[in-house]
Chain A
Amino acid sequence: MVETAGPAADTTILRWIPLFPLAAAVIHGVLLGLLRRPLARRATYWLSCGAVAASFLVSLFAFSQLLGLPEGQRAMVDDVYTWIGAGKFSAEAAFLLDPISAVMILIVTFVGFLIHVYSIGYMDDDHREDKGFQRFFCYLNLFTFSMLVLVLADNLVLMFLGWEGVGLCSYLLIGFWYSDRWNAYCGMKAFVVNRIGDFGFLVGIFLLFAALADVGHPTVAYREIAAAFPSITDRLVQIPAWLGGGEWKLATVIGLCFFVGAAGKSAQIPLYIWLPDAMAGPTPVSALIHAATMVTAGVYMVCRMSFLYEAAPGASAVIAWTGALTALFAATIAIVQTDIKKVLAYSTVSQLGYMILAAGCGGYAAAMFHLGTHAFFKALLFLGSGAVIFAMHHEQNTDKMGGLWSTIPRTGAVFLVGVIAISGIPPFSGFFSKDEILLSAYVAERVPGHLWIWGIGVFTALLTALYMFRVYFRTFHGVTRVPPDQMRKMHEAPATMLQPLYVLAVFAALAGLAGLPQVYGDWLGIPDSNSLGHFLAPALPAGHGEHEVSHALELQLSLLAVAAASAGFGLAWWLYIRSPELPARMRETLAGLHRVLVNKYYVDELYDALFVRPLIWVSDRVLYRGVDAGLIDQVAVGGTARAVQAFAARGLKYAQSGLAQSYLILMVVGTVAIVGWLLR
């Protein structure tokens, strides 16, 4: 961790990175919401895409300046103003560019820009609602702004602002076609589940701040926290009896609280349930928010807080195991899904599991690497599926596809690139990043059962190849299940959609070379081939024995992973190309298992019975009918009125006799009494 900003570089450029998308969102919002004068489509997309492009260019410039700084001092801070100042507490609106956030902003702005461009074509098809086009781009810009604030923030409080901002935009965009109740429901589900995670995140921030204030360092800025953290590392906290009691290490408690937030945002067990339903949103949204950027915020946060997790091996072990189980669990569900976007959604959950697993095992650089490659290939896959859905006129069910290669070969080709990349077949990007993750699990001796985690990772790699090739074969190959006349009319997506796909395909194929492990570097004669790893290294805690592994062992492990992926590919080929009648027979013999998987292990139903229904019951019966309608309306408000009525009607009204002289007597008596009291 770096103590001070490096030599004088102009850091004020950093604020422009989030400012451009914000300005575009505000212009859209004012025009749409206040003036009710929607822009023309052309002006709308030029403004939105231009803002993100400008943001990307500034990011590139800032990145080049960062590279100009000496290694070990790579940090630029742009302190815009004091956002919140109260006593000893202060939260700056300050942006920090260090290796971690540099990687993030480049991914967010670059992939974000491509997806903005893609949306021009995809949303143009949408005539379901007037003004929807500009509303969509307004939300998309607002999301980009929030995400950039999240990753560029210099402190936890500003990060939380971005964290909530992306959650809000996610909600708005999942329910974008809100006239369909189901979409609105899915948006709400995502929002509510994320609130649970945010609660943990907030509690973590409070605990951390309170402990630091206790030792005289009241701060929320990352680098100050990191500097002051050793003084509270060994503190113990008393856990309240209703939570199990006992004394826990403070770092572990804070780490677990933060991880609750990360699990919400990054869709880990037990909070992953919102992500598959988030696919109700338009496909570019699924690509940008629910695959490439927002859902990786949890991984980013764990990496950002890595100094804390280094002091909390217990929390790290929980994270590693959660990630591993999520990866496996989601992959098994993905195998039987027929909706093309649902497969990709569960695949995203599974890949996020890989990243979280890596972060838990101390492989923070590996997690960031996979975050980057995943952003490329998963955005590619989602946008590719969008092109398929576009060609199929909003049909997402692969049961009604097949053989599409003959009509939309370009989409098929780029989709295939994405499938190969995610399956981990060399030399595509997913292979290198997944290998790094598996290696970090293999060497993470401080995590109990780390070899099991490694084994789960390898097995999940097999499942990944299986379900990805399954969806690919079922969509593009085999006997078509599309009606012939529809097949004849089908055509490729427009250029604004295909061109971003080509760019993403190139990056999905080659991005792995940015973090080429030294094993292959030696082989190809490149010194220091893992440039991403070297770039990130000063900002992250040292890995755990990654370098003590012999190259021979590393190669063997890679071979094993490739073998697993190939086995998955072979299985998919056997089942869906060679003998396509086999899956139906398997479905009959394993009917029970199939039903469990298709119904996603009944987790939604379980949560429904355990949490949702009891909560609704309590809200309706106790809080609404009992407290609100019963206690407040009936007893308090109605009761007051009835008491007044009863009292006045039975006695008090007789004071109004109508006889002027009786009032006069009362007046005289009253006056005498007052005067008498005054003269006493």
Chain B
Amino acid sequence: MPVPLEHVIGLSAVLFAIGTIGALTRRNLVVIMMSIELMLNAVNLALLGFSRAWADPTGQIFVLMVITVAAAEVAVGLGILISLFRNRDSVNVEDVSLLKW
């Protein structure tokens, strides 16, 4: 018996909410990036669920696209993070608010 669409969407929504809250509340840049990954994968889950429910492969192609972009994003993000840690000795997001008035 297949998993109903509602369950998949529900799980996706819960994961997305956890990711959002994590990205907004945590101060550690590593954790923020992980939360963003979580949000991306929540979206992937929703896309897969709809793809299967409507028997349309477009959603799966989309998911591959998102995974690719996410990988690139993490590569760039971690690069920035390492360089930041070497210069500032910190990965706290509140320490990097130079771009302001």
Footprint of B on A, CB under 8 Å?
653-654, 656-661, 664-665, 668
Contact = CB atoms under 8 A, between A and B. Distances in A.
Contacts of A659: 93-94, 97, 100
A668 B36 CA distance: 13
Contacts of B20: 668
A57 B93 CA distance: 95
Given A653-B101, A654-B101, A660 B24 contact: no
Nearest to B25: A661
B24 A661 contact: yes
Contacts of A664: 23-24
B37 to A, nearest CB: 15
Contacts of B23: 661, 664
B99 interface: yes
5 contacts: A656-B101, A658-B101, A659-B94, A664-B23, A668-B20
A657 B97 contact: yes
B100 A658 contact: yes
Interface of B: 20, 23-24, 32, 93-94, 96-101
A665 B20 CA distance: 9
A654 B97 CA distance: 13
A666 to B, nearest CB: 11
Given A665-B24, A668-B20, A668-B24, A660 B93 contact: yes
B24 A657 contact: no
A644 to B, nearest CB: 15
Given A653-B101, A659-B93, A665-B24, 11 more contacts: A654-B101, A658-B97, A658-B98, A658-B101, A659-B94, A659-B97, A660-B93, A660-B97, A661-B24, A664-B23, A668-B20
B93 A661 contact: yes
A202 B42 CA distance: 78
Nearest to B27: A661
Given A664-B23, A664-B24, A656 B93 contact: no
Contacts of A653: 101
Contacts of B96: 660
A471 B99 CA distance: 87
A660 B99 CA distance: 10
Contacts, number: 28
B97 to A, nearest CB: 3
B64 to A, nearest CB: 25
A657 B100 contact: yes
A676 to B, nearest CB: 15
A675 B32 CA distance: 24
A653 B101 CA distance: 6
A656 B24 contact: no
A554 to B, nearest CB: 99
A657 B94 CA distance: 11
A653 to B, nearest CB: 4
Contacts of A654: 101
A647 to B, nearest CB: 14
Contacts of A661: 23-24, 32, 93
Contacts of A660: 93, 96-97
Which 4 A-B pairs rank lowest in CB-CB distance, beginning with the nearest?
Answer: A658-B100, A658-B97, A653-B101, A659-B97
B36 to A, nearest CB: 10
B82 to A, nearest CB: 17
A195 B100 CA distance: 61
A670 to B, nearest CB: 13
A657 B23 CA distance: 17
A645 to B, nearest CB: 14
Contacts of A668: 20, 24
A665 B93 CA distance: 14
A661 B97 CA distance: 10
A668 B20 CA distance: 8
A426 B97 CA distance: 105
A488 B45 CA distance: 115
Nearest to B101: A653
Contacts of A665: 24
B65 to A, nearest CB: 21
A671 to B, nearest CB: 10
Contacts of B93: 659-661
Contacts of B99: 656, 658
Most B C-beta atoms less than 10 A away, residue of A653, A657, A660, A668 = A660
A654 B100 CA distance: 8
A608 B94 CA distance: 75
B56 to A, nearest CB: 23
Nearest to A672: B20
B53 to A, nearest CB: 20
Nearest to A660: B93
Nearest to A653: B101
Contacts of A658: 97-101
A660 B23 CA distance: 10
A36 B19 CA distance: 75
Contacts of A656: 99-101
Most A C-beta atoms less than 10 A away, residue of B20, B93, B98, B101 = B101
Nearest to B21: A668
Nearest to A654: B101
A391 B92 CA distance: 98
B28 to A, nearest CB: 12
Nearest to B99: A658
Nearest to B23: A664
A656 B101 CA distance: 6
A38 to B, nearest CB: 63
A657 B99 CA distance: 8
Most A C-beta atoms less than 10 A away, residue of B96, B97, B98 = B97
A668 B19 CA distance: 12
A117 B36 CA distance: 92
Contacts of B98: 658
A656 B93 CA distance: 15
